Structure 1
Amino acid sequence: MNAAPADQIRLLDLQAIDSRLDQLAHRRRTLPELAEIDKATADHTALKDLVIAAQTQLSDTTREQGKAEQDVEQVRARAARNQQRMDSGAVTSPRDLENLQHETGSLAKRQADLEDVVLEVMERLESAEGRVTELTARLEHSTVVLQEAEARRDAAYAEIDTDAAKVQRDREAVAVVIPDDLLKLYTRLRQQQGGVGAARLQQRRCEGCRVEFAVSDLNAIKAEPRDAVVRCDNCGRILVRTAESGA
């Protein structure tokens, strides 16, 4: 392939622009905010699960407290009715009165036991309420942390995208004047060679793979016509000769 020396030199300008675009794309993919967001999202999700579990426990304990208090009230009401019957003199049979007094005594013990249960449930309810309050505050804080990280990411994206749009316009201005066949070769090699399709021949060295040529190889390059598109024997990239190339 042949191309005017000026067009080959323009490949170096295009390569520099493409390398800048690659750097911007890499920066966009590896923003530190992305790792922050991943961690903040994981923390936020875990806290949401903990809040749901704590709220479920609080709801269950609240129902348990209601049931325990209801049991106490039922026993208290039964004892009150028994006491009312004994005080009214409606029970005249000694045996019935004895049974009623025995039941009232049992109810008193039952009421005391149930009141102990109510106190124990109230303690657990207080702990469950505190747990929900604590976790809810932590969840709210994690939401703020996540939103702040996302805002920083979006600001960085905007800055990078603005820079990339400008660099892309510069690329289009350079690429449009490069012959199609040369541009296609450069593009193919860039895809194959990790983003670098054209490299400067600097003295005896290919700036693409950093390999120095033997004197005989350098003489062979010098013998090529100025419009010949020379390729590096080591990496295959287009080897662009300039006034400083020595070839």
Structure 2
Amino acid sequence: MALSVNTNVGAMVALQNLNATNTELGQTQNRINTGKRIANAKDNGAIWAIAQGQRASSNALNAVRDSLNRGTSAIDVALAGGESVSDLLSQMKEKALAASDSSLDTNARSQLNEDFKALRDQISKAVTNADFNGVNLLKTGATAIAALANSDGSSKLTVNPEVMALSGSIVTVATTGTIGTVTTAAAMITTVNTSISNVSSALARLGTKAKAYETHNTFIGKLQDSIDAGVGNLVDADLAKESAKLQALQTKQQLGVQALSIANQTPQTILSLFRG
């Protein structure tokens, strides 16, 4: 190779190699600092775009879980209210059966009737108060609730109301129902029995929906974990591998600096050619 003071090819090559090593070292240090192999679109646009889309889906599932949790709470409150109604109807049946006894005197029948009316009115209070965050599945005029079921909102889990107000299709006891006579007491037994059966069926439907909400919520949690793990597989760095690579690059950098230093000394040998 010809010696020249104008062009030091050896130094140029050594500098190029050192710059390449420094660039690679910077990338490795960034991966160790961030814990990510692909931290932005510049690292790998295609993989970054896929990961970003999956992150959006995972974040959207947080809203799905919130929606399911609210729906579950509303159903749980409705179940609690419905169970109270069922208990009250059982007590009302006891009072009606006792009042159907023709051997009762007037005072005893009157007291049973007062107890019956108090229980009847308590049903209305239980139904009215079965409210969660403005949602009441038991009152007259109640509407269905529909919780989000997927990340784009295209699927929903719907729960229909089970209206348990007095004089309704489920609780058929009239708002003015009494057991003041043997005849009305005997008729009320049949009415209460029908109401108890209807309420039990309504509670079974609500219970099934509550279970469906809980099951789907569990699934969404697992799905979200799987998506997050998948994103990690795409973009996360292997820190053990990067640590080993860091040590190798640091050594390579030191050698590159020494090589550049030696190459920069080459023009000095030209001076020795002119010394007498």
Among residues 209, 222, 236, which one is paired with 1:140 in the alignment?
222
Deviation at 1:89, TM superposition (A): 0.6
Match of 1:175 in 2: 257
Counterpart CA distance in 2 for 1:79 and 1:17 is 88
Residue 47 of structure 1 contacts residue 135 of structure 1 at CA under 8 Å; is this kept in 2?
no
TM-score, scaled relative to structure 2: 0.48
Among residues 91, 94, 106, which one is paired with 1:77 in the alignment?
91
Residue 130 (str. 1) matches residue 212 (str. 2): yes
Q: Deviations over 1:11-68 (max 9, x none)?
A: 2332343454467669643367665655554444443443343244334323322322
Among residues 12, 15, 18, which one is paired with 1:11 in the alignment?
15
Deviation at 1:126, TM superposition (A): 0.6
Gaps of 5+ in 2: 32-36, 114-178, 268-276
Counterpart CA distance in 1 for 2:51 and 2:199 is 46
Please show how residues 1-247 of structure 1 align to structure 2 within 5 Å: 5=8, 6-21=10-25, 28-29=38-39, 30=43, 38-87=52-101, 89-91=103-105, 99-100=180-181, 101-102=183-184, 105=187, 108-109=190-191, 112-113=194-195, 115-147=197-229, 149-150=231-232, 153-154=235-236, 156-176=238-258, 178=260
Larger radius of gyration: 1
Identity of aligned residues (%): 13
- The aligned length equals 180
Deviation at 1:174, TM superposition (A): 1.6
SS at match of 1:87: coil
Gaps of 5+ in 1: 183-225, 228-247
Counterpart CA distance in 2 for 1:108 and 1:65 is 24
Give the AA of the match of 2:18. Answer: L
Structure 1 pair 84–49 and aligned structure 2 pair: CA distance change class (3 A): same
Residue 14 of structure 2 contacts residue 260 of structure 2 at CA under 8 Å; is this kept in 1?
yes
Counterpart CA distance in 1 for 2:236 and 2:61 is 24
Counterpart CA distance in 1 for 2:48 and 2:216 is 28
User: Cα RMSD over matched residues?
Assistant: 4.2
Q: Deviations over 1:66-105 (max 9, x none)?
A: 3223223323322322322331511369x97983333653
